[in-house]
Structure 1
Amino acid sequence: MKKLKNYIVVFALLFGMFATAEAQITEKPGFGKFAITNATIHTVTNGTIEGGVILINGNDIEFVGQNARITSDYTTIDATGKHVYPGFIDGWTGLGLTEISAVPVTVDNAEIGQFNPHMYAFTAFNPHSAAVPVTRVSGVTTVLSRPSSGNISGKAAVMDLWGYSPDSMAVRKSGALIMNLPSKGGGWWDNRSDAQIERAYKEDIKEINDFLDKARFYDEMMNAYEANPSGKTKPDHDPRMAAMREVLSGEVPVVISVNDEDAILDAIEWTKEHEDMRFIFSGVREGWRVAEEIAEAGIPVLTTTLYTPSRDYDNYQRPYQNPGIMMEAGVKVAIVSNDTENSRNTPFEAGYAAAYGMGTDEAIKAITINPAEMFGVDDKLGSLEEGKQANLFFSDGDPLEPMTKIEQVFIKGYKIPMVSRHVQLFDEFLDRDAVE
């Protein structure tokens, strides 16, 4: 009987969740040909255009500039006084993989085992997550949805936030390989000696290196077979090793989570042993301490601004200053939410960095073209250019400011209904009737 009650509770939560998700869309998105006119267009890569025009034809941007010829088959949107930006990209989130943390059946971001390069977050992404509409109406149109757990967690996916299935939303199914290196750091709870900590660290690093050596050997065998298959026996298929081939070629980057100064320096030294791979660091909370070293290594970073300083004697401004300090040192920086429900706050994370030394233009790049370049999707996303995918929005002001209103979002050329659970609750309670 107790088990039955538990199942009923879980079913009720799931039913409520999906009912909420379905209730968020009250109209179908528009699609076809649109002309956004009289706008201030922030292209990101080619300056700002005053009184400009953007033509959208199907999925793509057809024209960006001034004095466009607009035929009668375009739906014209007058954006006088409005600002148009490329859709923002949150490059580090669990969106689509976690719905209700306390309900295990709604959490699908981890796998059993330490090495899972063949596991794809794309296959677990929930297009109908209640957090998706909440995020996209804030101007965040694309995310890197990442798995967690183990030394190699799996492949993160670059996902647009409009569609009815993971296939229809995927920009790149293999956006990045997620890796967690061991740390030498202990704590007050760790009663091991320094020698024991060092020995454990070296053993864990060796396990990762051995896995990568096996992957390289497999890749060499497959390359030799593919170059001349005649008369040769094809190597047995190994899904884990096969999934590493695009990583070893540098096609798919490896994201390593590191935060404190020593861990960052250790990770930099480790990456030097694997020059055939392309790396990105995430977290990097003490990046400001070793910004020159990160820049010299040529490793881009994914970082946030809303966290408590790592050390109690650090200035409270350091988290806000961190992205700007690394940028000034020559590091390519992308600002991310590192959250699921609050992926929508990515623009405000960038706003803090803008106010504390990074500047607005660079902060905008940190949530548009920079993550697009890191994950190899800058041919489609990250700026407003002819031929790119029509992911964009227009607002009544600076989108890094909380008081700015995002008025309309387009994703893959679809004019998205500006509806979410948050909007519905706001409308419901704004002018509520008095209740006796």
Structure 2
Amino acid sequence: MKKLNIFAVIVALLFSLSATAEAQITEKPEYGKFAITGATIHTVTNGTIEGGVILIDGNDIAFVGQNIKITDEYTRIDATGKHVYPGIIDGWTGLGLVEISAVPVTVDVAEIGQFNPHMYAFTAFNPHSASVPVTRVSGVTTVLSRPSSGSISGKAAVMDLWGYSPDSMAVKKSGALIMNLPSKGGGSWDTRSEEEIQEQYENQIKEINDFLNKARFYDQMMKAYEADPSGKTKPDFDPRMEAMREVLTGDVPVVISVNDEEEILDAIEWTKGQQDMSFVFAGVREGWRVAEEIAEAGIPVLTTTLYTPSRDYDSYQRPYENPGLMAAAGVKVAIVSNDTENSRNTPFEAGYAAAYGMGTDEAIKAITINPAEIFGVADKLGSIEEGKQANLFISDGDPLEPMTNIEQVFIKGFKIPMQSRHIQLYDEFLNRDAVNR
């Protein structure tokens, strides 16, 4: 029976892999020079341009504005009555690292051990995942694909959703360090006393602090050697410590998952002792309770809207209001999916926030320029500006509305085929009759 079960699993995996491969057989993208004309252009950073023109030359946006002569070398795309937005950025997902959540061999988000700063999600990213085209045809052109395990999970990567290899898709291989601080919270199942909970919390925090102090000492030794290597023995190379160097200087932000009020306040207090490091909070479901404290600490957040309130007496609207309340307090907010299969729903997460107080303009920023700034790629992504990478899409309306159709997507200047496994299945079963019936 055991052998039969193993055989069945292998067959199922082979079938799923062949189905995935088949799902990627699409038409090829177009590349070159394009002129999008007549559209309402939502630049995000420089207002809205009615009846505008966008010129795409190779990877980049060459012009954004009005009244420009378009030469014959450009392929014209008439977008009269349509809208153009910068590509949506989902700043918290397992896309590319998870294919089928229920099948462990297709899940590659975790490493053994508590401290793995030298592990890069970029190296495990699957560019041929069936979820990639499903996501990008919905207007999501870029994601932060992140690992999850231990106290320090590894480095998340900022990835564009077009390419044949991780190298060709990477915007920033080292986008963020993912960290999980301990929590004092328990549940009805937790039989520990308050003293025991506090003691375990302090021990776990000490382990993290000790690791960081070791990394700082390593960095000091390496800097001293690099400044004057003559007559000195080079310190032994340590891949974990080496990976921490760009984190200790603040060049790579540290993303910490926190949700309830106490966790957030504890995390804020802990970050105050970490000089020169840059922090981002993810989750932050009760951020609205301590929004002023988060703003005062200057910590941006990655949050969602589709979850159940953590306290029975909270209004059902709080998850939808949370991003807007934090933004109103001065917190930089990026709205994310916190999902893999449903990374495509990032704009609808933002739609709830827009409807519950955040407003459309701020909600659009929360899925475009804000995550781009948080992860240090705003020079390339997040808005429609001359000189930036041509990541954008054409729609027939507001992308935060579920009834809006995304009609065309560009990623790195490539005019992406509007095909995905979902679309193929829809077309297949829409008309199930024989061709000659």
Is the CA contact (8 Å cut-off) linking 2:24 and 2:128 kept in structure 1? Answer: no
Whole-Å separation in 2 of the counterparts to 1:252 and 1:236 = 23
Whole-Å separation in 2 of the counterparts to 1:58 and 1:21 = 28
3-state SS of paired residue (1:35):
strand
3-state SS of paired residue (1:341):
coil
Is the CA contact (8 Å cut-off) linking 1:95 and 1:341 kept in structure 2? Answer: yes
Point out where structure 2 has 5 or more consecutive residues left out of the alignment: none
**Which residues in structure 2 correspond to 1:37-48 (within 5 Å)?**
37-48=37-48
**Identity across the alignment (%):** 84
Greater mean alpha carbon deviation, residues 118-127 or residues 93-102: 93-102
Question: 1:207: which partner in 2?
Answer: 207
Whole-Å separation in 1 of the counterparts to 2:14 and 2:111 = 22
Whole-Å separation in 1 of the counterparts to 2:214 and 2:259 = 29
3-state SS of paired residue (1:334):
strand
3-state SS of paired residue (2:31):
coil
C-alpha spacing 1:175/1:11, structure 2 compared with 1 (3 Å): farther
Q: CA deviation digits over 1:62-110, x for unaligned, max 9?
A: 0000112211111000000000000000000000001112222211100
3-state SS of paired residue (2:41):
strand
C-alpha spacing 1:7/1:122, structure 2 compared with 1 (3 Å): farther
Is the CA contact (8 Å cut-off) linking 1:25 and 1:419 kept in structure 2? Answer: no
Normalised TM-score (structure 2): 0.98
Question: 1:295: which partner in 2?
Answer: 295
**Which residues in structure 2 correspond to 1:31-430 (within 5 Å)?**
31-430=31-430
Whole-Å separation in 2 of the counterparts to 1:100 and 1:343 = 14
Is the CA contact (8 Å cut-off) linking 1:337 and 1:345 kept in structure 2? Answer: yes
Task: Give the CA deviation at 1:5.
Answer: 5.0
Is the CA contact (8 Å cut-off) linking 1:305 and 1:320 kept in structure 2? Answer: yes
3-state SS of paired residue (1:187):
coil
3-state SS of paired residue (2:203):
helix
Point out where structure 1 has 5 or more consecutive residues left out of the alignment: none
Give the number of aligned pairs. 436
Task: Give the CA deviation at 1:25.
Answer: 3.5
Greater mean alpha carbon deviation, residues 244-253 or residues 65-74: 65-74
Is the CA contact (8 Å cut-off) linking 2:156 and 2:177 kept in structure 1? Answer: yes
Whole-Å separation in 2 of the counterparts to 1:340 and 1:246 = 28
Whole-Å separation in 2 of the counterparts to 1:250 and 1:42 = 32
Q: CA deviation digits over 1:314-365, x for unaligned, max 9?
A: 0000000000000000000000000000000000000000000000000000
Task: Give the CA deviation at 1:2.
Answer: 3.5
3-state SS of paired residue (1:401):
coil
Give the 4+ runs in structure 1 shifted more than 4 A: none
Task: Give the CA deviation at 1:429.
Answer: 2.0
Task: Give the CA deviation at 1:186.
Answer: 1.1
Task: Give the CA deviation at 1:122.
Answer: 0.3
Normalised TM-score (structure 1): 0.98
The one-letter code of the counterpart of 1:258 is V
Task: Give the CA deviation at 1:431.
Answer: 2.7
The one-letter code of the counterpart of 1:255 is V
3-state SS of paired residue (2:387):
coil
Task: Give the CA deviation at 1:8.
Answer: 5.2
Greater mean alpha carbon deviation, residues 404-413 or residues 65-74: 65-74
The one-letter code of the counterpart of 2:223 is N
Is the CA contact (8 Å cut-off) linking 1:17 and 1:130 kept in structure 2? Answer: no
Q: CA deviation digits over 1:282-306, x for unaligned, max 9?
A: 0000000000000000000000000
C-alpha spacing 1:357/1:169, structure 2 compared with 1 (3 Å): same
Task: Give the CA deviation at 1:381.
Answer: 0.3
The one-letter code of the counterpart of 2:92 is W
Task: Give the CA deviation at 1:261.
Answer: 0.2
The one-letter code of the counterpart of 2:178 is I
Whole-Å separation in 1 of the counterparts to 2:82 and 2:250 = 40
The one-letter code of the counterpart of 1:145 is S
Is the CA contact (8 Å cut-off) linking 1:25 and 1:420 kept in structure 2? Answer: no
The one-letter code of the counterpart of 1:31 is Y
Is the CA contact (8 Å cut-off) linking 1:160 and 1:170 kept in structure 2? Answer: yes
The one-letter code of the counterpart of 2:256 is I
Is the CA contact (8 Å cut-off) linking 1:98 and 1:109 kept in structure 2? Answer: yes
C-alpha spacing 1:254/1:132, structure 2 compared with 1 (3 Å): same
Task: Give the CA deviation at 1:18.
Answer: 4.1
Task: Give the CA deviation at 1:4.
Answer: 6.4
Q: CA deviation digits over 1:198-231, x for unaligned, max 9?
A: 0000000000000000000000001111111111
Whole-Å separation in 1 of the counterparts to 2:147 and 2:378 = 23
Whole-Å separation in 1 of the counterparts to 2:45 and 2:338 = 26
C-alpha spacing 1:228/1:3, structure 2 compared with 1 (3 Å): farther
Is the CA contact (8 Å cut-off) linking 1:10 and 1:103 kept in structure 2? Answer: no
3-state SS of paired residue (1:305):
coil
Q: CA RMSD in A?
A: 1.4
Greater mean alpha carbon deviation, residues 211-220 or residues 98-107: 98-107
